[in-house]
Amino acid sequence: MSPRSHESWKEELPPFLLGALSPGERADLEYHLGGCAECQAELRWLESAREELVSQVKQVEPSPDLKVRLMAAVEADLAENPATQNPATQPAPASRADEPGPVLGSERQENAFKAPKRSWLDFGQLLRPAILGSLAAVLFAGVIVGYAFNGRDNSGSEGTVVAQRVLTGSSNSGNADATMVISGQSGTLKVTNLMKLPDDEVYQAWVQKGQSIEATDSLFTPRKDGTATTSIPDLNGVDVVMVSVEPKGGSEQPTSVPILTIETT
């Protein structure tokens, strides 16, 4: 039997999008799609039309009970199968040892998450009074040097992220919340509830690799609603992302204690 032509596969894309292929036809096409960039592109091109079909459906309100029932079912599921602790949001690192990786992790990633480690947040909490007292750069550097890794290899390879992950972090002072979406080697940091800064100050992101702290070009000020978004282009080998308040134009070394910390490993 001769192999199917590429055109014949393309003909299957519209019925595929509309859910009109038989299970066998669908499986065959999905197999082809896995190795055909042209068909993948064509599929994405047509996808917006299908989304339009959904968006044009006459909108009808469900009963409020629907959400109540759904969330009750979710609660019940959580009670029945207690959630795997979310490493990204868990404040106390000591209990991480038994946790699996967060999302789509390779075995290597999962092992990395199992490595117990201390967090910047711990130091931040201990130093909160000092933060309020505007600790000097020397203290910031001292804290960084004091950061312990329990013998973990920080050569960088373990920190490599191959799938998108969402991490959350907390502020060491104030009410700011941080979320970082890691995709491949880069991350997008989203911060909420940031305090407005004087005109001569900016927020600056830093990355910690092993015991070294490196400046990034990510300087930002919050929008009127206290939110800010910035990117961290290279997270290879990064263990912690931090944000501190710096003079306008940024600094080469941190001059204040970080207000936010997010562990990336």
Helix 23-35 vs helix 37-55: crossing angle, to nearest 10: 130
Closest approach of Cβ 23 to other proteins, in Å?
Answer: 10
Footprint on this chain of other proteins (rule: CB under 8 A): 11-15, 17-22, 44-63, 65-67, 69-71, 73-75, 77-78, 83-86, 88-91, 102-104, 164-166, 168, 177, 179, 181, 190, 192-193, 227
Closest approach of Cβ 13 to other proteins, in Å?
Answer: 8
Residue 125 identity (one-letter amino acid): Q
Q: Say how far apart CA 216 and CA 203 lie, in whole Å.
A: 11
Indicate the residue among 22 and 198 with the shorter CB distance to other proteins: 22
Indicate the residue among 50 and 152 with the shorter CB distance to other proteins: 50
Residues 176 and 230 sit within 8 Å (Cβ to Cβ): no
Closest approach of Cβ 187 to other proteins, in Å?
Answer: 12
Closest approach of Cβ 59 to other proteins, in Å?
Answer: 5
Q: Tokens standing for 62?
A: 């469900």
Half-sphere exposure of 83 (CA within 13 A, CB side): 10
Indicate the residue among 177 and 201 with the shorter CB distance to other proteins: 177
Residues 239 and 150 sit within 8 Å (Cβ to Cβ): no
CB atoms within 10 A of CB 29: 20
Indicate the residue among 31 and 132 with the shorter CB distance to other proteins: 31
